[in-house]
Chain A
Amino acid sequence: MKDLMMRNLIEPLRAVYQTAAQILPRLLAMAIIFAVGWVVAWVVEVILRRLMVLLGVNKLFEARGLTRLLTQAALPSPAEIISRIVFWLIWVSFMLVGVNALGVVVLQREIAGFVSLLPQIVLAILVLFFGFLAANFFSRAALLAAVNANAPSPRLFSIFVRFLILLLAVTIALERIRLGHGVVLVAFSISFGAIMLGLAIAFGLGGRNVARRILERRFAGDSRDEGEDKDEEGSHL
């Protein structure tokens, strides 16, 4: 009886030990590959960045107007962006190799799937990049317009614009890589519709008078408010 109990206890422990003896070196190998990958990626990033600065890559892009596009969207210089992309590409490659080294069949299958999805992922990243550009540009435009119109809570308005554009970009990007295919689209449609409905109700209830004045000014040629604004701001030219 005692032997049976011991055997029942020891066997699972031995199995765990054997599994651990198999997995741990692989885990260690994976960690080492991750670490080496990070170091290699970092070194390549630093060298590449310095090389590009030395070669005047930023100036090259500046002449073609790309730097202006990036700065206008509050993004770093082209050299910085390229070196960061290279860093992530190298490190992600090492991570894939590391995960592969674990020898887990399911993971290997997932990695194979991931590799086949790479073109779509690149497209999704591009969508996110341009979405980010647009979000930065339009949120700043909204902030400045709201400040100069003396509108209440300009920053909130700007954040809302940014959120809306990023939400749209993320939805398109996720749709691209077929992640949560229907769910993302439905969630976006519901939240976008809800926001717009909320805004319409809020404007209709809270801003009835403003809306009426805008419509009167637009269609009935009532210019009383313009005259009042002029008096308040004075004549500058």
Chain B
Amino acid sequence: MSEESLLSDEFVNQLTAVGEVDILVGIPTLNNRATVERVIDAIVVGLVKYYHRERSVVINPDGGSNDGTIEAIQGASMPDFRTVLASSPLRTMHVVSGHYPGLFGQAGALRLILAAADLLGAKACALVSPDIQSITPEWVEALIRPVLKEQFDFVAPIYERRRFDGLLVKNMLHPLVRAAYGCRIEEPVGNELAFSGRLARHFLEQDSGREDFLRFGAYAWLTTTAIVGGFKVCQSFLGPRVVAEKRAALDLTTAIGEVGGALFRCMEIHESYWTSRQGSESVPTFGFQSIMDLDPVRVNRKKMFQMFKSGVDELGSVLEQILSPSTLAGVREVSKLEEKDFHFPDELWAKTVYEFAASHHHSVMNRAHLLQALAPLYRGRVSSFILENLRAGAPEVEGKLEALRLEYERWKPYLIASWSRNVR
């Protein structure tokens, strides 16, 4: 798709008025009036504080907000930098809003940002969610510096998470990306990230024809495409990530369907890359990563356990089409355990995820249904994980997660075999 068709005339005019930039920060919005002003303030302060010599622009693609988000952004006055900073901006700061069809979800916003980055010749681009409540100006520095000063092409975030927070990332997405792509990125679907202008152009070139899953899985695609393209990848510590209620309320089945499904699709389009790789490599990490024993997130483990048991019981005919007989037998066996003795082993979980990925690839059934069938099993895994780590400290939990990641790596040949239909 050409840039001309991605950008409206009005938007191009606004960008032309801005001229060439060094840094571009994209904030895609859709009804985020309550939080977006503060996010823009933090970004602007961060740009002035750390990059007051660089030419910067904030791009805001909006998906058709009807809660006054656009008005809030347009009406946002630049903060009085003297009250928060020793320095003042040396260049004019631009905030440019454009519209993308909300129908295309993340993909529409992403395309607009990438096209703008290409048009303005940005050297470093960052994406930031509009609903982050914990953002500070330091996030801008943490995301942009590795690209602008250290010549990295892709910066993934690392968040400071509370215990039992981000369980899908920890139990499935991170280990899967690590084992399949051989890259130890902690947050492969993090919504705050940065990339170089060179990589932005690569994303634009690779983007065509991916509408269907980019709609909700753009972040998984960005991360994996950067890895597969052989770009220099690193990660940067941002601190705690607190989001507004609306996004946090994304339910489990939707989360698995959107993000898990997107990652499975990425594996499909990158098949030739990951099937030929072995082991995994660590990636450089910027920033000081603190390990703190924060209060755990409240999770109703008993309810999850009960939903796992009933799910396995009710979905027998569905799971038979997805899992191999031995894995299904293993799942059924653990579902018979008592709550206090419950344990969903790492090996069984890794094989389960791999068989779901392979069955998704082979389209053994409607893909949305397949991903919905994963939710009850994930509940079982999470229930077991919480039970085992109820009183564990942060280092102990990290040790157990590392054991899980190694298990994923150990069973990678099984994934490849399932993928090419040699198992089942």
Among A6-14, A144-152, A178-186, A189-197, the one that faces the other chain is: A144-152
Which residues in chain B, 47-99, are within 8 Å of chain A measured between CB atoms? none
Contact across chains for A234 and B164 when beta carbons are under 8 A apart: yes
Decide yes or no whether B169 CB sits under 8 A from chain A.
yes
Nearest residue, chain B, Cβ from A234: B299
Contact across chains for B248 and A230 when beta carbons are under 8 A apart: yes
Chain A residues, Cβ within 8 Å of B300: 231-234
Q: Given the interface contacts A72-B363, A144-B372, A230-B249, does A150 sit within 8 Å of B303 by beta carbon?
A: yes
Decide yes or no whether B390 CB sits under 8 A from chain A.
no
B315 to chain A, nearest CB (A): 6
Contact across chains for A144 and B299 when beta carbons are under 8 A apart: no
Nearest residue, chain A, Cβ from B304: A233
B32 to chain A, nearest CB (A): 17
**Hey, what's the 0/1 contact readout for B16-38 against A, CB within 8 Å counting as 1?**
00000000000000000000000
A152 to chain B, nearest CB (A): 10
Contact across chains for A154 and B314 when beta carbons are under 8 A apart: yes
Contact across chains for A234 and B167 when beta carbons are under 8 A apart: yes
* Interface size bracket, A side: 20 to 34
B127 to chain A, nearest CB (A): 15
Chain B residues, Cβ within 8 Å of A233: 251-252, 299-300, 304
**Hey, what's the 0/1 contact readout for B291-323 against A, CB within 8 Å counting as 1?**
000000111100110110011001100100100
Q: Given the interface contacts A143-B314, A147-B310, A148-B253, does A236 sit within 8 Å of B366 by beta carbon?
A: no
A148 to B248, CA, bound (A): 18
Contact across chains for A147 and B255 when beta carbons are under 8 A apart: no
B interface residues with partner A (beta carbon < 8 Å): 164-169, 189, 245, 248-253, 255-256, 259, 297-300, 303-304, 306-307, 310-311, 314-315, 318, 321, 363-366, 369, 372-373, 375-376, 382
A interface residues with partner B (beta carbon < 8 Å): 68, 71-72, 74, 137, 140-141, 143-148, 150, 154-155, 226-227, 229-237
Give 7 A-B pairs besides A148-B253, A237-B189 with Cβ atoms closer than 8 angstroms.
Answer: A68-B363, A74-B365, A137-B366, A231-B299, A233-B251, A234-B164, A237-B255
11 residue pairs of the A-B complex, CB under 8 angstroms, read A140-B318, A144-B318, A144-B372, A147-B314, A148-B252, A148-B307, A229-B249, A233-B252, A234-B165, A236-B169, A237-B169
